[in-house]
Amino acid sequence: MPSDDRRPQIVIVGGGFCGAALALHLVRIAERPLAITVIEPAAELGRGIAYAGSDPVHRINIPAARMAVFRDAPDDFHRFAERIGAFASDPEGLQPNGDFYARRRLFGDYVGALLAEAVAARPHIRLAHVQAQAVGWRDGKALLDDGRLIDADALAIATGNPRPALPAAIAALAGDSRVVADPWVENATAFGRDARVLVLGTGLTMADAVATLITRGHRGAITAISRHGLRQRRKRPGPYRPEVDFAALPGDTALALLRSARQAVREAETAGGSWEDVIEALRLQGRAIWQRLRRSTTSSSSRSTEDNSSSAPGMSRGSTARRMCSPSPGAPEGEGRPRPKRSIT
């Protein structure tokens, strides 16, 4: 598909959080006419797997005030939730300390709304959503699964992680109607209420699946298994707050960071705290630490959304970029994710 005008054309493959955030930042910063095409099979941009589901018990596992799209307005999502009345309509998400653990779908609503607003305000930018799957790259064009070719001066790949699939050891079970390979398909776990359910894995996806079952009134036994047999623990507020500025310590390698963290754990334990307090401090400083780590380590780890946006305008004709991003840089999943209210046998 040749571009219909001479404006530069940026093609973004994948319109989940990172693809939509990149498009948003491009729309906001581009001063000259620009055409942005997002290739995304889903009907809406900004959702991906994480923020598409409609199950109200699936919540973001960190407070809304830390889900940042804009570096200079880190609490924008929190204010959006308040503005549209989510605190009142979803009081379960609001904690006594004012933190709001939003339903995941709300974050997708937010990103989609930001994008729509930005496009409406910047008529010199043309944003197109092509609902298809990109399957290749040919002569400076993105090849789609329906055979179309999309011209690209620059290509950004924001395809996220692949959808869940059966592990090789049980691949032979594919096709059995009792086996759910991808729990994120809508109503994937709509079994009979008395069904005995075996969940492989005891992490956050298990917690989401079990929360869904319990909310639907499931009565049958649910057994979750994993190699270590451990479940996520609720975050407990530590009595000790390590005041270590990890990004300011000497050394810019992962090994130096590990040594500093171990030292901080020893100090925390001497002061009556625990290793968890140190990990919490590390997590909160994730962005600063990441930016300081030596460049050679950056290819396989996550980058902030802003980093994606700033790299794109500099891409040369036909160039490709692949960076990973997150709305909560430095925040591993686990914190604050609601857990099932019933014990699992």
Ligand X SMILES: Cc1cc2nc3c(=O)[nH]c(=O)nc-3n(C[C@H](O)[C@H](O)[C@H](O)COP(=O)(O)OP(=O)(O)OC[C@H]3O[C@@H](n4cnc5c(N)ncnc54)[C@H](O)[C@@H]3O)c2cc1C
With contacts defined by CB under 6 A, name the span among 42-50, 77-85, 238-246, 303-311 that binds ligand X: 42-50
Among 11, 36, 37, 48, binds ligand X (CB under 6 A): 48
Distance CA 60, CA 337 (A): 6
x/- site string to ligand X, residues 132 to 161, per CB under 6 A?
-xx-----------------------xxx-
With contacts defined by CB under 6 A, name the span among 74-82, 90-98, 218-226, 319-327 that binds ligand X: 319-327
3-state secondary structure of 259: helix
Residues near 196 by Cβ (< 8 Å), separated by ≥ 6? 220, 221, 222, 223
With contacts defined by CB under 6 A, name the span among 47-55, 90-98, 194-202, 291-299 that binds ligand X: 47-55
x/- site string to ligand X, residues 172 to 201, per CB under 6 A?
------------x-----------------
Q: Say how many C-beta atoms besides its own lie within 10 A of residue 190's C-beta.
A: 10
Written as one string, the DSSP assignment of 145-185 is: TTS-EEE-SEEEE---SPPP---GGGGGGTT-TT--S-TTS
With contacts defined by CB under 6 A, name the span among 36-44, 121-129, 188-196, 227-235 that binds ligand X: 36-44
Among 15, 63, 286, 340, binds ligand X (CB under 6 A): 15
DSSP 59: B
Among 62, 81, 156, 261, binds ligand X (CB under 6 A): 62
60 binds ligand X (CB under 6 A): yes
With respect to ligand X, which residue has the nearer C-beta, 48 or 273? Answer: 48
The minimum distance between CB 104 and ligand X, in angstroms, equals 6
Q: Say how many C-beta atoms besides its own lie within 10 A of residue 32's C-beta.
A: 8
| Side chain identity at residue 46, one-letter code | G
Burial class (CB in 10 A: 0-12, 13-18, 19+), 243: exposed
Among 333, 334, 338, 344, binds ligand X (CB under 6 A): 333
Contact 135, 127 (CB under 8 A): no
The minimum distance between CB 256 and ligand X, in angstroms, equals 26
Contact 196, 221 (CB under 8 A): yes
37 binds ligand X (CB under 6 A): no
286 binds ligand X (CB under 6 A): no
Among 26, 40, 141, 222, binds ligand X (CB under 6 A): 40
Question: What H or E segment, with its residue span, contains residue 143?
Answer: strand 141-144
- In angstroms, the Cα distances linking 208 to 61, 145, 204, 205, 229 are 11, 32, 6, 5, 17
With contacts defined by CB under 6 A, name the span among 26-34, 223-231, 285-293, 321-329 that binds ligand X: 321-329
76 binds ligand X (CB under 6 A): no
With respect to ligand X, which residue has the nearer C-beta, 149 or 256? Answer: 149
Residues near 342 by Cβ (< 8 Å), separated by ≥ 6? 214
Which of 288-297's residues contact partners 24+ apart within 8 Å by CB, and which partners? 288/246, 288/247, 289/246, 289/247, 289/257, 289/330, 290/329, 290/330, 291/247, 292/247, 292/252, 293/252, 293/253, 293/254, 293/257, 294/252, 294/253, 297/253, 297/254
Among 37, 61, 202, 305, binds ligand X (CB under 6 A): 61
With contacts defined by CB under 6 A, name the span among 38-46, 188-196, 244-252, 289-297 that binds ligand X: 38-46
55 binds ligand X (CB under 6 A): no
110 binds ligand X (CB under 6 A): no
Residue numbers of the site for ligand X (CB under 6 A)?
13-19, 39-42, 48-50, 60-62, 133-134, 158-160, 184, 324, 326-328, 331, 333
